[in-house]
Amino acid sequence: MSEQLAGADARERDQKLLLRTAELAESAVQHGNTPFGALLAGPDGAVLLEQENIEISEHDCTGHAETALVRHASKLYSREFLSNCTLYTSVEPCAMCAGAIYWAGIGRVVFGMSENRLLELTGDDPRNPTMHLPCHLVLASGQREIVLEGPFPELREKLEAIHLKYWGK
C-alpha cells in the first residue's frame, strides 16, 4: 500500500510541476515567444530553475525552453548531480532539446503533451516546424538510460488550451 501511496504522491507532484510549466508557457507568449515552458527539479523535488521559450525575443533558433534551461543548469551543476534531477516540460522535447538533455546528464524527463499532438494542433505552421522524431528515440540512442514519463492525459485540456489559443486553431 505504501508503494501505491508513494506512486500517487509522485504523480501528484509531477502534475503540479507540469502545471507550472504551463504557466511558464503562457509567460513565454506574453514575452513574444512560442508557448513552451520547462523547469528543473532537484533530487528532493524542489524547483531549481525555470525557463520559458526565448527563441523569438532573443533571436536564437535554439532558444527552446528545455535547451536554454539545460545550458544554464550545466553551468551550475555537475553531471553527477543532474543525473538525479528531473526536467519537466509542457510538451515532449524536440530532437534538439532531447540531445541537450542527454548531454547534460539529466536523469529523468517528464512531459505533459506529446510532440505528435502538438503537430496535430499546429499543422504546418512555419513557426513550429516539428520533426517526426520522438524524444524517446533520441534518448534511447544514447549510452545511458534516461527515465521518460509522459504524456499526462489528465492535463491535456489545460495544455492544449494554451496551444489552441496561440496557434489560432
Secondary structure of residue 16 in the 3-state scheme: helix
Q: How far is CA 3 from CA 8, 20, 67, 152, in A?
A: 9, 26, 33, 20
Q: What is the dihedral of CA 25, 142, 15, 160, to 10 degrees?
A: 40
Q: How far apart are the first and last CA of the chain?
A: 44
Mark whether 92 is an active-site residue.
no
Query: Which amino acid is it at 44?
Result: D
Query: Which amino acid is it at 35?
Result: P
Name the catalytic one among 50, 52, 55, 66.
Answer: 66
Give the active site residues.
Answer: 66
